[in-house]
Amino acid sequence: MKTCRVLIVEDHPFQHQYLLNLFNDIGGFSVDTAADGRAALECLNRQRYDLILSDLMMPNMDGVQLIQKLGTLKHKPALALMSALSRRMLVSAGLAARSAGFCVIGLISKPVEPAAVHQLRTRLETLDRRGPAIDPQPLALDRASLLAALHNGQVQAWFQPKKSLKDGRIAAAEALVRWNHPELGLLLPGRFLPALQHLDLEEELLMHIIRQTLHAQARWRRHHYEIPVSINLPTHLLDSHDLADRLHALVTTLGGEPRDIGFELMECSTTTHAGNYYAGACRLRFKGFSLAQDDFGKGYSSYFKLASTPFSELKVDRSLVHGCIENESLAWALQSIVCLGRKLGLTVVAEGVETPEELAFLRKIDCHQVQGFLISPAVSEVHFERLLCEDGPAITQLHSP
């Protein structure tokens, strides 16, 4: 790993020197120091850094004010925060930093231990291997080009496995959309979904993903794998009173079984009237589809909706998973949600699992299933079949937790 340039922002003279010595002893760092936020800004005007490690409570300009000032930087360094304040204060400041576009790689309670600095170095090495973050802007697309991409097969369903924590096998999958663009390569949803939503093509996309999912399931079934697949359903589409009928007709006409298809009600929207939400949810279940509360913990999700809607699955948002190891409050909240889901008879799936420690914690609290980059990103139906084969001989996996 290359030597990392680090700026330590700390006002206390003893802590200032202690941190400087600690980083130098561990090695691999080129360290500058600043006594407060204003001095840090002066350093950043002269030099680009790989990491800023900042205290929260400082005179003249505190750590949160510094984050807000640095939010306009075009090239943002990685950020770690430290404080003797409560863990919740650190987490809240970290969320402010992430909202400002920073990659937050550490929330460190004082006194700073050598292990915390070693962990910062490891995370910087990971960022270095991944290369610079790319946040491309959504494409300006017209209706004709989007419809053409749907009809000619460029827009594809890729599948992210959900692994059972009971036996470690792939128990289900989530269908996620990708665009195999002939000129721009593989596009993630952030590049084209905003235009698709603006042009009211979400239902066309939903039907397209269902068709591709049924094709993939038929392929896997020929190899004796019965894999239920969940598909994102923008909640406002439940304003169409006959949506459940049309979805059922599509699935059965193409030879599929409604029990093999689930819909995840997305938290990016809601229905015009609350009655449409509950009526639509009931009718999807009447037709034999499974139903998941997606991204529980953000958006329009609530305990009342969870307890009042005929869900069969609870998807725990990744924001509750990330940091659950370091943050005791977050860990308790996550454990409470998993316990609630189990008591309601739901299959509980944790999203965004990225570390072995998160996986071990979720197994400890009896979460049913996990998905995330630690398991596998979304892959094509052919690649997904290879993952199934790596799992071992086909067994009946349908509806297993």
CATH classification at residue 272: 3.20.20.450
Q: Do 122 and 237 belong to one domain?
A: no
Reported in sequence order, the residue ranges of 110-207 that DSSP labels E, i.e. its strands, are 155-164, 170-181, 185-187
| CATH number reported for the structural domain that contains residue 69 in this entry | 3.40.50.2300
**Last residue in a domain, options 95, 130, 165:** 130
Q: Do 91 and 195 belong to one domain?
A: no
Does some domain include residue 138?
A: no
- List own/partner pairs for 196-200 with CB under 8 A and 24 or more apart: 196/141, 196/146, 197/234, 199/141, 199/142, 199/143, 199/146
**Structural domain for 69, as ranges:** 4-130
Q: Do 62 and 192 belong to one domain?
A: no
Contact 261, 226 (CB under 8 A): no
pLDDT by position in tens, the chain (length 401):
578 999 999 999 898 899 999 999 998 899 999 998 899 999 998 999 999 999 999 988 999 999 999 888 878 899 999 999 988 898 889 889 988 889 999 999 999 999 999 989 888 887 766 554 455 689 999 999 999 999 999 999 999 999 999 999 999 999 999 999 999 999 999 999 999 999 999 999 999 999 999 999 999 999 999 999 999 999 999 999 999 999 999 999 999 999 999 999 987 788 999 999 999 999 999 999 999 999 887 666 678 889 899 999 999 998 889 878 878 888 999 999 999 999 999 999 999 998 899 999 999 999 999 999 999 999 999 999 999 999 887 654 444 44
Euclidean distance between CA atoms 338 and 359, whole angstroms: 14
Does some domain include residue 370?
A: yes
Euclidean distance between CA atoms 47 and 351, whole angstroms: 38
| Exposed / middle / buried, residue 282 (Cβ in 10 Å: 0-12, 13-18, 19+) | middle
Nearest alpha carbon to residue 82 among 50, 100, 56: 56
Q: Do 166 and 299 belong to one domain?
A: yes
Q: Do 52 and 101 belong to one domain?
A: yes
Does some domain include residue 401?
A: no
Q: Do 267 and 309 belong to one domain?
A: yes
Q: Do 75 and 197 belong to one domain?
A: no
Does some domain include residue 137?
A: no
**Last residue in a domain, options 79, 107, 130:** 130
Q: Do 153 and 295 belong to one domain?
A: yes
Q: Look at the chain and report how many structural domains it folds into.
A: 2
Q: Do 314 and 208 belong to one domain?
A: yes
**Three-class secondary structure of residue 79 per DSSP:** strand
Does some domain include residue 356?
A: yes
